[in-house]
Structure 1
Amino acid sequence: MAIKGKVRHALRTVAAMACAAACVVGVGACGTDGSNEPKIKVGIKFDQPGLGFKKSGTYEGFDVDVARYIANKLGYTDSQIEFKEAPSKQREAMLQNGDVDMILATYSITDERKKAVDFAGPYFVAGQDLLVRADETGITGPEDLNGKRLCSVTGSTSAKVVKEKFANEVQLMEQPGYAECATALLSGIVDAVTTDDIILAGLASASRGKLKVVGAPFTQEYYGVGIKKGENDLACKINAAILDMEKTGEWERAIESATKGTGYKPDPKYNPPVPDEGCKNDV
């Protein structure tokens, strides 16, 4: 019995070492389903149609498509990707704590955020825009918002930008999420919704033709892949994957799929972007 016990212990030790080696080679942690299969944990939004959306246990949207492409290029199959919800306020902590290996969740690259985490990318450049009802003709840009009712998410910088730069007399309604803003717009409670254009395009697509994006972006937001500090090699690999996605046409197809039926087109002055963030070596 003592010999058998030693054998079992040795086998468990070997299995643990193999799992650890797999995790070092890859990015993610080992699976917890007993298979010892390495996993990559990716933070996304669960409530943004067209970008990161959880639906009946599946995940869809542009951020999801880019995440899958990157993970596949890193050597992971789709079954090895574990998507986790990454609310805006928790993104830095999730990376710092190792809850996720990377985050693709409309995560704009900023100097302030780079104090806490690193970024790869960008993989998309969004611009702040306006969402209006499909039959709206009086709002063609932020300069038309004086006296209008505008919706944005509580704590969002989007509404602040409009009020400071364009329309001091705008009536602001704040909601916990953009889906609630879209509902208020559809019901006539507000006249427009403001945030990044691709988020608005996802909402327009989900509305089945009842809403439209004005198409006059007035800022630039560089969406990056959030990673833990010091992951230079990982940043280089992610940038190479993004560049490959752009060159093969998969990037454009993912955009078209995410915004189908809206007529939305990314600003060609900035898209597709050159992924040069975070990697100290050439892609």
Structure 2
Amino acid sequence: MSALPSRLTRAISLVGATIAIVALAACSSSPSGSTSSSSSQGLQTLTAGKLTIATGQPAYSPWVIDNKPENGQGFESAVAYAVAEKLGFAKKDVVWTRTTFDSAIAPGPKDFDLNIQQFSISDERKKAVDFSSPYYTTTQAIVTTKGSPAASVTTLDGLKKVKIGVATATTTYTLLKKEVGGNNIAVFNSNDDAVLALKTGQIDAVATDLPTAFYLADAQVDNGVVGGQFADNSGGDKFGIVLAKGSPLTAKVASAVDALRTSGELDTITKKWLSTTVNVPVFK
């Protein structure tokens, strides 16, 4: 009879030791300051413990500064790192790669976990790839030249005093009529026609969406500048992060973008890189 208490005592001791070991292991696996790496564990990525993010080649300012997304400078680079952090990846665990725009949204396997390069979300594209929640809705903007009367305009009333060209049947045209109106709006068949009119002095500025405005000012208009942008983004294209169709990360990336929007961090990034840094104020 004396053997039973002895066995019971040893069993209780063994259970207690096991609990202590498990508790110690749990504590040691989450040291102070390592929450990012531990929270990313279990996510199914191309490379375990790493998040592979793609962008274009080259990647242009203000989306990526100096064609170096790894520096965290530029709107989309900053958004990518903010999303990575929400997913639990430290900056050192983000791996950058490059793709063309078309290959990223084509059907088939992908060599990236996420791809960010101004992809407008559309039902047609959703047939081939997944999208996150929108991280940006395009605004409309004014492209002009240095020294033009339009270059110093900062208000909606000021825009009524300069001649603005715009492509017909566009969201920009609808917004321009609403915000500016008047006889100072010249309607063209395309942005190319409007740019030609700007170059030949027929108009003072061209209205288009902000991403196109950056391109026109940098690549098509001599001494081009983006004079300002409109606060109203209704009807604008919504940009989303692209993932492979059926990616296990889609819901988590969408939640990360939503969290950044709710916290105000996304708005802060937007103002920094698409307004303040590039000196594109919002018309009042």
Q: How far apart in 2 are the matches of 1:72 and 1:123?
A: 15
Q: Does 1:235 align with 2:253?
A: no
Q: Is the 8 A contact 1:44 1:104 kept in 2?
A: yes
Q: Does 1:83 align with 2:83?
A: no
Q: Does 1:39 align with 2:50?
A: yes
Q: How far apart in 2 are the matches of 1:91 and 1:173?
A: 27
Deviation, 1:254, is 0.8
Deviation, 1:221, is 0.6
* Aligned counterpart for 1:125 among listed residues 99, 119, 137: 137
Deviation, 1:198, is 5.4
Deviation, 1:108, is 0.8
CA offset digits 1:225-279 (Å, max 9, x no partner): 1111112x522211221222123332122112202132248xxxxxxxxxxxxxx
Match of 1:99 in 2: 111
Q: How far apart in 2 are the matches of 1:74 and 1:86?
A: 22
Q: Is the 8 A contact 1:73 1:241 kept in 2?
A: yes
Match of 1:10 in 2: none
Q: Is the 8 A contact 1:52 1:105 kept in 2?
A: no
* Aligned counterpart for 1:173 among listed residues 173, 192, 211: 192
Task: Flag the 1:27–1:104 CA change in 2: closer, same or farther, 3 A.
Answer: farther
Q: How far apart in 1 are the matches of 2:256 and 2:245?
A: 20
Task: Flag the 1:172–1:248 CA change in 2: closer, same or farther, 3 A.
Answer: closer
Match of 1:256 in 2: 271
Deviation, 1:222, is 1.0
Q: Is the 8 A contact 2:130 2:244 kept in 1?
A: yes
The TM-score normalised by the length of structure 2 is 0.58
The amino acid of 1:41's aligned partner reads T
Q: Secondary structure at 1:241's aligned position in 2?
A: helix
* Aligned counterpart for 2:125 among listed residues 105, 113, 133: 113
Q: Does 1:25 align with 2:42?
A: yes
Between Structure 1 and Structure 2, which shows a larger proportion of helix residues? 2
Deviation, 1:124, is 1.6
Q: Does 1:65 align with 2:78?
A: yes
Match of 1:74 in 2: 87
Deviation, 1:194, is 5.5
CA offset digits 1:202-221 (Å, max 9, x no partner): 9989x999541252767411
Q: How far apart in 1 are the matches of 2:241 and 2:281?
A: 26
Bigger Cα Rg: 2
- How do 1:136-151 and structure 2 match up within 5 A? 136-137=149-150, 140=159, 145=164
Q: How far apart in 2 are the matches of 1:69 and 1:247?
A: 13
Task: Flag the 1:188–1:105 CA change in 2: closer, same or farther, 3 A.
Answer: farther
Deviation, 1:133, is 3.2
The amino acid of 1:103's aligned partner reads N
Q: Is the 8 A contact 2:142 2:226 kept in 1?
A: no
Q: What is the percent sequence identity of the aligned residues?
A: 21
* Aligned counterpart for 1:225 among listed residues 241, 257, 273: 241
**Any unmatched runs of 5+ in structure 2?**
1-39, 175-184
Match of 1:247 in 2: 262
**Any unmatched runs of 5+ in structure 1?**
1-22, 31-36, 151-157, 175-180, 266-283
Q: Is the 8 A contact 1:245 1:251 kept in 2?
A: yes
Q: How far apart in 2 are the matches of 1:213 and 1:255?
A: 15
Q: Is the 8 A contact 1:102 1:225 kept in 2?
A: yes
The TM-score normalised by the length of structure 1 is 0.58
Q: Secondary structure at 1:29's aligned position in 2?
A: coil
Q: Secondary structure at 1:225's aligned position in 2?
A: strand
Aligned length: 215
